[in-house]
């Protein structure tokens, strides 16, 4: 199998998702994240890093290694599903604050939990991703210390390129308890980092994520605004969704022009999403190593219209269950009916298919001597073995056309 010998190998083989952890480890003097011509955030080695530093990056990079929930997080009450992994409970859940629920993606569960953590003083700040203030089509990581900072930053779903971990060591260096909200691959990277940096488990108290459809290239957003003859520098607001569930894709210019598009019109056809190659081979888009994963709850996998906003919560750890119960008792979160795995399958059929397909996609890469993500504890080989030979062959062969587009 092909080896990864340097940072450029990770990028050129399509394994880098631009999370920013490598920059956080080395500092900008050595590695700097920037937007590529293809609309992807990628690291660039601006000063030669040592082999020791590169090996540290290899041990945490979610383009190289992704693992399931750490064994110490599993207890006698934990259930295990072949597709969805370890969990303690499944519930409908949403923010009790109408403004959060309306403006957030789906039901505002992650924002509601984050607000509870801040106001209960369980953490000092939340490390999350928001719209860049002067360039709202782009995203930036942020440390939020209060309600105003948390919620007034367009922090609902950011489907374009983002580097949620580029400030992670800055957060650790503050030596204060905090929570992290990010994508499943970001959570995986944090779990890997915790193996070599004892500060992670001491300070990063909660890991909250969403069930992820993938990160789109920046060109997807550019084409959207250009369809209205709007340039990026003219934008004052750029919103992927929210202000309803699912809400509309919405932009507003500095001179007051407004344009929007219905959710299904923009996201309905998956082949037009321009999802990053790394997302096509993602072994964990469902947040298996998080404390809580939040997801959309549309029967059949897509919205039939607007509703009030109801998240489902996959509660994976005792830490997550305690948080959900405490936030509910304190009035920040409303828990609805308990759910079954069959409900989650119905809400997210594309995630079920992806989980079944991913090992075959990895096999297709290996057969072409292309490095792929190393995995452990994610059951993807077991799912592969249950697939039909025709399904696996189709997925293996399909990776060839995707590889050409890296």
Q: 116 in a domain, yes or no?
A: yes
Q: Which among 40, 289, 338, 282 is positioned nearest to 187, based on CA atoms?
A: 289
> Looking at the domain assignment, is residue 250 inside a domain?
no
258 falls within a domain? no
- Tokens representing 44 are 């660039």
Q: Strand pairing of 65-67 and 374-376?
A: parallel
What residue numbers bound the domain in which 337 lies? 71-217+272-348
How many domains does the chain contain in total?
1
Q: Per this entry, what is the length of the chain?
A: 406
DSSP codes, 116-154? HHHHTTS-SEEEEEEEETTEEEEEEEEEE-SHHHHHTT-
- Which pLDDT tens digits describe the chain residue by residue (406 residues)? 468 999 999 999 999 999 999 999 999 999 999 999 999 999 999 999 999 999 999 999 999 999 999 999 999 999 999 999 999 999 999 999 999 999 998 999 999 999 999 999 999 999 999 999 999 999 999 999 999 999 986 667 788 899 999 999 999 999 999 999 999 999 999 999 999 999 999 999 999 999 999 999 999 999 999 999 999 999 999 999 889 899 999 999 999 999 999 988 877 666 667 899 999 999 999 999 999 999 999 999 999 889 899 999 999 999 999 999 999 999 999 999 999 999 999 999 999 999 999 999 999 999 999 999 999 999 999 999 999 999 999 999 998 777 767 7
Spatial contact of 91 and 337, defined as CB atoms under 8 Å apart = yes
Q: Half-sphere exposure of 339 toward its Cβ, with a 13 Å CA cutoff?
A: 26
Q: What is the pLDDT of residue 404?
A: 67
In a domain, 192, yes or no: yes
Strand bridging mode 79-81 / 65-67: unpaired
Residue 235 lies in a domain: no
- pTM for this one? 0.96
Question: Looking at the domain assignment, is residue 249 inside a domain?
Answer: no
């Amino acid at each position: 199998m092909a080896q990864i010998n340097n940072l450029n190998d990770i990028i050129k083989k399509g394994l880098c998702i631009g999370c920013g952890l490598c920059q956080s480890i080395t500092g900008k003097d050595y590695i700097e994240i920037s937007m590529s011509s293809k609309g992807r955030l990628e690291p660039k080695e601006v000063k030669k890093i040592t082999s020791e530093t590169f090996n540290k990056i290899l041990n945490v990079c979610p383009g190289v290694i992704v693992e399931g929930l750490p064994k110490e997080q599993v207890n006698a009450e934990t259930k295990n599903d072949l597709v969805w992994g370890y969990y303690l409970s499944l519930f409908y859940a949403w923010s009790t604050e109408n403004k959060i629920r309306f403006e957030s993606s789906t039901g505002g569960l992650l924002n509601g939990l984050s607000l509870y953590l801040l106001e209960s003083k369980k953490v000092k700040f939340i490390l999350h991703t928001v719209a860049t203030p002067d360039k709202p089509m782009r995203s930036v990581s942020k440390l939020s210390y209060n309600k105003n900072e948390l919620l007034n930053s367009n922090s609902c779903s950011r489907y374009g390129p983002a580097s949620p971990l580029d400030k992670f060591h800055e957060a650790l260096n503050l030596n204060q308890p905090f929570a992290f909200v990010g994508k499943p691959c970001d959570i995986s990277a944090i779990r890997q980092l915790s193996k070599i940096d004892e500060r992670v488990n001491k300070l990063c108290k909660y890991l909250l994520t969403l069930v992820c459809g993938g990160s789109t290239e920046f060109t997807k957003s550019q084409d959207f605004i250009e369809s209205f003859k709007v340039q990026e520098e003219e934008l004052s607001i750029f919103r992927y969704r929210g202000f309803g569930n699912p809400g509309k894709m919405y932009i507003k210019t500095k001179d007051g022009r407004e344009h929007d598009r219905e959710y299904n019109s923009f996201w309905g056809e998956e082949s037009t999403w321009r999802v990053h190659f790394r997302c096509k081979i993602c072994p964990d888009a469902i947040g298996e190593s998080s404390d809580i994963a939040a997801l959309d709850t549309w029967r059949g996998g897509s919205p039939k219209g607007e509703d009030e906003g109801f998240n489902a919560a996959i509660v994976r750890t005792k830490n997550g269950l305690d948080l959900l119960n405490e936030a509910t008792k304190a009035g920040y979160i409303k828990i609805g009916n308990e759910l079954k795995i069959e409900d989650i399958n119905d809400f997210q059929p594309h995630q079920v298919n992806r989980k079944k397909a991913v090992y075959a996609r990895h096999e297709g890469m290996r057969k072409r001597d292309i490095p792929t993500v190393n995995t452990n504890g994610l059951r993807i080989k077991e799912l592969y073995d249950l697939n039909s030979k025709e399904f696996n062959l189709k997925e293996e062969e399909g990776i060839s056309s995707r590889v050409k587009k890296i």
